[in-house]
Amino acid sequence: MEAIAIFDIGKTNKKLLVFDSNFELIHEQSARFDEIADEDGDPCEDLSALVAWMRQSLQRLQDDKLPVSAVNFSAYGASFVHLDDKGKPITPLYNYLKPYPDSLQASLHARWGGTDAFSLATASPALGNLNSGLQLYRLKQQKPQLFAQIKYSLHLPQFLSFLLTGRAVTDITSIGCHTALWNFAAGDYHAWVSEADMLGKLAPLVSCDNVFPAIQTPVVLCGSGLHDSSAALIPYLDSFSEPFLLLSTGTWCISLNPFNTALLTTDELKQDCLCYLQYNGRPVKAARLFAGQEHEIQVRRIAAHFQLQPRFYESIRFNPALLANDGSPLPVFSKRAMADFPDAATAYHRLMADIIHAQIESTRLVLNGSDVSTIYVDGGFSKNHVYMQLLAAAFPEKKVYAASIPQASALGAALAIRKHWNKNNSSSSLVNTELYTPEWVNHV
């Protein structure tokens, strides 16, 4: 039996997942680690604990005689591991939420035409440490002696691969995700990277389907790892040939359009759009909306007013009558008075209608200029009947599906190197879908 092990590393949850050749999950384990502090007292990942857990997990696979022949990685990618010439980390794994010096960011942007011009070229809104290239730039400017000791700066997925292969490489999905390192129009590193003497700190670029021999592990082949957001898109690209948009819902609701090839505009950038790079090097235009967080806050507000449990909404089915003549949509539900609603179900319907109106604007930013006929929704809202009915009504010219892929980012990492470990070419059933076709007049 053929199988692959995937380390799926989130900010909170760390998982090891083993898939067989049919992409069925045959082994799973998870862990959480308390954060530690960096030299400034800011919280950061306990890299030593993560590495120790990874090695112990691989040993357990060997002890259990699981037939794993390959391993790959999916991880959050907005942080660098800085290695010396012996391959040892010489800094903490800085948290991408760590405050960034405003003056340092401003001076870099000014050198390259201002924030708008710089952000437009790199398809990266100005996000401080979330622009991981600026993390390396901070060391260059503020800690030059430490910067001089750096042999390579690897994003987290590639560092984990390096531990098993000894090969320092750079992956396009990590470099192409709001790092401020990549010039999307030129298809290469932005000129500022070379001018700042940082280019030599970045390992050679490799394709996401490359594998290298693993050393001192129970597996034989090792992938170079992928940024988790890009990895999660791969099962959809693998399963569907018609152009589609993926609406990934959670704390952030992110509209991802792999079929919009137009360069980012200044207007889109100011409305929280950015570009990712797919595993095949093509751009993905994306728009972000903080809808999941707003939903959580307002659900608590509704529950408190009507003296209900916070998860009351899970049993609510869509009822269009609850939206008739109850007022026009507002930018945020928080401006509405709870006293205006007779019950929690009515209030919840209006909350979701307000969220959907904001979602329409966000999603349309990346739909424009593309031939997309289908929208897939995954994540928390894909299970929300009210949300899905309203979204389907908002895009009557599209097919709107609730989609479910267990462990999408891990599956994406497995698919990226499938040709090296899996002789089974069939994976069309990986995505479970449910079509939403509302048969009612849109009152929202």
Instruction: Spell out the domains of the chain, with CATH numbers in brackets.
Output: 3-224 (3.30.420.40), 226-444 (3.30.420.40)
The CB density around residue 117, as the number of other CB atoms within 10 Å, is: 13
Tens digits of residue pLDDT in 200-221:
999 999 999 999 999 866 678 9
Mark 19-36 as b/e (b = at least 16 C-beta within 10 Å). Answer: bbbebeeebeeeeeeeee
Mark 288-317 as b/e (b = at least 16 C-beta within 10 Å). Answer: bbebbebbeebbebbbeebeeeeebbeebe
Q: Which two tokens stand for residue 89?
A: 């980390």
Q: Which amino acid is at 42?
A: D
**Cα 306 versus chain centre, distance:** 35
Tens digits of residue pLDDT in 37-52:
999 999 999 999 999 9
Confidence at residue 103, expressed as pLDDT on a 0 to 100 scale: 96
Grouping H, G, I as helix, E, B as strand and the rest as coil, residue 253 is: strand
Of 377, 370, 372, nearest to 408 (Cα)?
377
Q: Report the C-alpha gap between 282 and 47 in whole angstroms.
A: 31
Q: Report the C-alpha gap between 420 and 25 in whole angstroms.
A: 19
Contacts 24+ apart (CB under 8 A), 38-46: 38/91, 38/92, 38/94, 38/95, 38/98, 39/92, 40/98, 42/94, 42/95, 42/98, 42/99, 43/95, 44/92, 44/93, 44/94, 44/95, 44/98, 45/11, 45/79, 45/92, 45/93, 45/95
pTM for this entry = 0.86
The H helix count followed by the E strand count for the chain is 15, 22
Confidence at residue 218, expressed as pLDDT on a 0 to 100 scale: 66
Q: Which amino acid is at 356?
A: I
Q: Which residues of the chain have pLDDT under 70?
A: 216-218, 325-331, 425-429, 439-444
Is the separation of the CB atoms in 397 and 375 below 8 Å? no
**Cα 444 versus chain centre, distance:** 30
Q: Report the C-alpha gap between 6 and 25 in whole angstroms.
A: 11
Round the CA-based radius of gyration of the chain to a whole number and report it. Answer: 23
Q: Report the C-alpha gap between 42 and 135 in whole angstroms.
A: 14
CA distances from 437 to 243, 250, 393, 398, 406 (A): 19, 23, 8, 10, 24
Is the separation of the CB atoms in 129 and 94 below 8 Å? yes
Q: Report the C-alpha gap between 268 and 365 in whole angstroms.
A: 7
Q: Report the C-alpha gap between 178 and 190 in whole angstroms.
A: 13
Q: Residue 139 carries which DSSP code?
A: H
Consecutive H or E run containing 298:
helix 291-306
Mark 360-375 as b/e (b = at least 16 C-beta within 10 Å). Answer: bebbebbbeebebebb
- Supply φ then ψ for residue 430, to 5 degrees: -70, -30
